[in-house]
Chains A and B, each alone.
Chain A
């Protein structure tokens, strides 16, 4: 199967929200290509009429009553992982930019 191109690596890094350095890009290009080449062995396997497996013990949907019974974290505990809070909310980086047409 085809080896990866530098454009592939950059595209995947963007999808994965990772900022890579030039050195990392070069390194991953070579390493990911060799791993992909290895796993491409699977193309030799005949999987006609074979269903894919995503769950091994045969469980399907697991339901419970729609009622509150499980204990939950209180607000202080839920916010305890960061100092970056505002009025008891998490502060998040902006994802929208200010309008420029006004």
Chain B
């Protein structure tokens, strides 16, 4: 194959026009993975499964009745799953030594639904162990590198998933977003990353991090591609009782975007700021009204997050005792231990009210800010992270500095709203830039409409790093 297709529609057009077969697509991705082995984007390559699924896709493509293709919205689409998604018969590690040789007996709902839609699983991607991190450096199997510049981090925790799509090792990938773990690496790697509303997609079979915050989402080059994945994966499965079935509609046709002044603060990188403002101008040119808004409790979001999240982490990681599967608790890495300790402390007798309960109350105030703002605007535009990708090792020794990289992303998780990170160019040093859009609960359609409008208006043409 000369040039890899970078969108779902281009992929499926090529398959239907017989420009390439699904098996040839798998050949190309596997060759690219081999060529980019130094990125360390994958923990496991599932070539056997991939070829089996590709042959099945080619068989379906050969049917005379082409009407059947509508039943397979992801037909022939190669997907890499974050190694937090259980995959029956294929090793799933959470990038932790605790689960180094764990082979699940069942698959996550998101995985099963994508397979049923015709997707081809190419492998399992590296991430910060247990999804704890903002750089990918907390993986027990070594860091993933940024495909645009290998001296830089790809972001985290879904580091390998973002890097894999960005480098053309897979067309799309899955991720989890608990405090920014999809949007921030998407932003650092120059791809689109989507986090749905809390409770829109089942988390059954996805290794839990912090249960009041965890969301299952995806990466792709185009907004329309993450929309397709969302439509395949959303809705209840009977196994995750937080899932709500709804229409995910936009509230109005005349969309207003709010620009929160609390996200354009001192210390925000100038190129990041400029790029987000330019993105807002694109919307203005398209007739979208921009409104200055205020979310006064934003400054407390990171503190609330770093109480609630470790508390829930310490509880969820309590199940790993090495008895039924996996290795003993001594195999936890430094960051997991740190979060278990922090979470256990804020939940312990004598400190629960001062930390955990207090954080849950301030969380309510942050939610009130957003609910009030959404009375007058349909979406919020903001930077994703205060800086572009940082250098490997730059923040690794200081956990507090690393935690502050999540400062603009955690609010969407605390409030439970959907958000999307969209690429918007490059810095002078050729590192990706981007911005995020957030909208009210279950109004995913607003994000897709705005995201597609932006990519159309800027004639967005995704490229792989050379």
Known: A31-B399, A42-B304, A59-B199. A12 touches B361 (CB 8 A): no
A55 lies within 8 A of chain B by Cβ: yes
Which of A24, A39, A92 sits near B337, CB closer than 8 Å? A24
Residues of chain B contacted by A20 (CB below 8 angstroms) = 337
A88 at interface, CB cutoff 8 A: no
Q: Contact: B441 with A38, CB < 8 Å?
A: no
- Is the Cβ of A12 less than 8 Å from the Cβ of B197? no
B241 within 8 A of A: yes
Q: Is B232 an interface residue (CB 8 A)?
A: no
Collect the chain B residues with CB atoms within 8 Å of residue A15's CB. 344, 348
Number of A-B contacts (CB under 8 A): 145
Q: Contact partner of B361 among A13, A47, A84, CB < 8 A? A: A47
Q: Tell me which residues across on chain B come within 8 A of A100, comparing CB atoms.
A: none
User: In this assembly, does A17 line the interface, its C-beta being within 8 Å of a C-beta of chain B?
Assistant: yes
Cβ contact within 8 Å between A57 and B341: no
Known contacts A18-B332, A24-B337; is-contact A32 B342 (Cβ 8 Å)? yes
A83 CB, nearest partner CB in chain B, Å: 11
B323 touching A82 by the CB < 8 A rule? yes
From known contacts A17-B329, A36-B345, A59-B199, infer whether A77 and B361 are also in contact, taking CB-CB under 8 Å.
Answer: no
Q: Does B454 contact A (CB under 8 A)?
A: no
A93 to B321: give the CA distance in the assembly, Å. Answer: 10
Contacts of A56 in B (CB 8 A): 198-199, 212, 367, 414-416, 441
The reply to whether the CB of A54 lies closer than 8 angstroms to some CB of chain B is yes
- Chain A 56-76 residues near chain B, CB threshold 8 A: 56-57, 59, 62, 64, 70, 73
Once A35-B399, A59-B242 are accepted as A-B contacts, the answer to whether A18 and B329 lie under 8 Å apart by CB is yes
Most buried by B among A31, A39, A70, A81: A39
Stretch from B66-74, B131-139, B352-360 contacting the other chain: B352-360
B303 CB to nearest chain A CB (Å): 4
B324 contacts the other chain (CB 8 A): yes
Q: How far is the CB of A46 from chain B (nearest CB, A)?
A: 9
B330 x A12 contact (CB < 8 A):
no
Which one, A32, A62, A77, A80, contacts B345 given CB within 8 A? A32
* B residues near A73, Cβ cutoff 8 Å: 105-106
Contacts of B362 in A (CB 8 A): 42, 45, 47, 50
Q: Using Cβ atoms and an 8 Å threshold, which residues of chain B touch A1?
A: 354
Q: Once the chains are docked, how many angstroms separate the CA of A54 from the CA of B358?
A: 12
Whether a CB of chain B sits under 8 angstroms from the CB of A51 is yes
A70 vs B146: C-alpha distance in the bound complex, in angstroms?
42
Contact call A35/B365, Cβ cutoff below 8 A = no
Complex formed: what's the CA distance from A47 to B238 in Å?
37
Residue of B nearest to A28 (CB): B341
Q: Which residues of B contact A57 (CB under 8 A)?
A: 197-199, 242, 244, 416, 441
Given A31-B399, A53-B367: A93 and B323 within 8 A (CB)?
yes
CA of A9 to CA of B323, assembled, Å: 26
Within 8 Å of chain A (Cβ to Cβ): is B363?
Answer: yes
Contacts of A91 in B (CB 8 A): 323
Is B314 an interface position by the 8 A CB rule? yes
Shortest CB distance A71–B (Å): 9
Asked if A52 is an interface residue, CB under 8 A from chain B, the answer is yes
Knowing A17-B329, A19-B330, A42-B300, the reply to whether A32 touches B338 (Cβ < 8 A) is: yes
* B residues near A11, Cβ cutoff 8 Å: 348
CB<8 Å pairs between A and B, sample of 15: A15-B344, A18-B329, A18-B337, A18-B341, A31-B399, A38-B303, A41-B303, A42-B362, A45-B297, A47-B358, A50-B365, A51-B364, A52-B364, A56-B367, A80-B105
Instruction: Give 7 new A-B contacts, CB below 8 A, not counting A19-B330, A45-B358, A54-B360.
Output: A12-B348, A15-B348, A17-B318, A32-B341, A39-B303, A42-B358, A57-B197
